[in-house]
Amino acid sequence: MEKIKMKTPLVEMDGDEMTRILWRMIKEELIYPYIDLKSEYYDLGLEHRNETNDQVTIDSANANKKYGVAVKCATITPNAARMEEYHLKEMWKSPNGTIRAILDGTVFRAPITVKGIEPYVRCWKKPITIARHAYGDVYKNTEMVIDRPGKAELVFTAEDGSETRSTIFEFQRPGVLQGMHNLDGSIESFARSCFNYALDTKQDLWFATKDTISKKYDHTFKDIFQRIFEEEYRARFEAAHITYFYTLIDDAVARVMKSEGGFIWACKNYDGDVMSDMISSAFGSLAMMTSVLVSPDGNYEYEAAHGTVQRHYYKYRKGEETSTNSVATIFAWTGALRKRGELDDIPELVAYADRMEQAVIHTIEGGKMTKDLALISSLEHVTVLNSEDFIKAVRATYEELSGAVG
């Protein structure tokens, strides 16, 4: 069979540890045999980030901006232990944070659902996608511990020296204090990314905040979303037969629990942090969560939601067998290749991505899976495969599906 040709390069961001091992296996077994891969390769492995003083991360994000689509392997975010382990010059920042800052994007996380791995919430039939605003609020806060009586005020000093003040609290006893901010521009980008992604995936969009209590802060989020929806998106949503729905966060949580899924839930930064962990555990496994960073001007970076699976990597290095789940990383590749196919008008590439995802799902539904899934599967006959054999089993299913089509 002739390999599928690509037009524009895919930006490839390699990573660390066990996911770096899976990365190579996926390329050899599931990509190279079928696609004449055109990629611009950036090695975001920690050693190379350290050698380049992290310039490679910045270069890769700029390439993502230039070409539009990237696929990223999980990477180590250095901490004190990693400083020693890798003899780092500096405690380099999280690559995901750096890339997100350059692309100004929103992260969408969605579970991959398969028969046999049932959500803990019985009524959920379709995936729920979480969109998390990734700027500001409590993540860029200033905090104080108050240890004596006094008055806390919010003071804004304008460039011309004029002040706007407002009393927060008159402390008589010890307590705590916090200040935080957000920017209209960032909220607007967040809104556009969400509306675009809803149109892209033809799913309804929900957004919720606590605007009844936070009458200025959260209300600004609500107002910006509503304005952008009316001005730029209402007509397109109607044409696509999807809806935008705003409600209070408490109401949203109650509705999500009673829904059947199949929508995007846009969350402020903290809500998204918490709710994405709830959604992924409720759907069964972190190893089955996909993640895509979408910028307001239409750039995409696909990855798995999990980390580098360090514990498995140490086993692998000792020569022990591992059974690491590669599904989310495979879907990062298929997601990126499908998007490339759509943008460059290469229907064979889109068809490849669809069929490869089907092959993954059929393989698992047929009872062949890695250990993490075997532990939670409700199927009666399950075969546990090691990391490499699972990927080979997916290839065999892909060949079968291709044979069936002719």
Where does this chain touch Mg ion (CB under 5 A) — which range of 105-113, 186-194, 262-270, 271-279? Answer: 271-279
Identify the CA nearest to 30 among candidates 388, 405, 379: 388
Q: How far is CA 139 from CA 15, 233, 274, in A?
A: 25, 29, 13
Q: Does 325 bind ligand NAP (CB under 6 A)?
A: yes
Q: What are phi and psi of 21, to 5 degrees?
A: -65, -45
CB of 117 to Mg ion, least distance (A): 22
Three-state DSSP string of 238-261 = HHCCCCEEEEEHHHHHHHHHHCCC
364 lies in the site for ligand NAP, by CB under 6 A: no
Cα dihedral 338/340/342/346 (nearest 10): -90
Rounded least distance, CB 58 to ligand NAP, Å: 16
Positive or negative torsion for Cα 41, 42, 47, 53: positive
For position 56 contacting ligand NAP by CB under 6 A, the verdict is: no
Question: In whole angstroms, what is the distance from residue 205 CA to residue 195 CA?
Answer: 7
308 contact, one of ligand NAP, Mg ion, none, CB 5-8 Å limit per kind: ligand NAP
C-beta of 259 vs 280, nearer to ligand NAP? 280
Number of DSSP helices (H) and strands (E) in the chain, helices first: 15, 18
| DSSP H/E element including 50 | helix 46-51
278 counts as binding Mg ion under rule CB under 5 A = no
The interface with ligand NAP within residues 86-105 (CB under 6 A) comprises 96
If binding is defined by CB under 6 A, does position 372 make contact with ligand NAP?
yes
Options 53-61, 133-141, 266-274, 288-296: segment touching Mg ion (CB under 5 A) = 266-274
> Is 60 near ligand NAP (CB under 6 A)?
no
Task: From the list Mg ion, ligand NAP, none, pick the one residue 325 interacts with, judged by a Cβ distance below 5 to 8 Å according to partner type.
Answer: ligand NAP
| 360 near ligand NAP, judged by CB under 6 A | no
309 binds ligand NAP per the rule CB under 6 A: yes
Cα–Cα distance for residue pair 209/194, rounded to 1 Å: 15
71 counts as binding ligand NAP under rule CB under 6 A:
no
Residue 129 contact, options Mg ion, ligand NAP, none, Cβ 5-8 Å cut-off depending on partner type: none
Q: Is position 273 an interface residue for Mg ion (rule: CB under 5 A)?
A: yes
| 308 near ligand NAP, rule: CB under 6 A | yes
**In 3D, which of 316, 394, 336, 289 has the Cα closest to residue 13?**
336
Contact residue for ligand NAP among 310, 358, 386, 402 (CB under 6 A): 310
CB contact at 8 A, 240 and 202: yes
Write out the residues near ligand NAP by the rule CB under 6 A. 74-77, 96, 286-287, 303, 306-311, 324-325, 372
Residues that bind Mg ion (CB under 5 A): 273
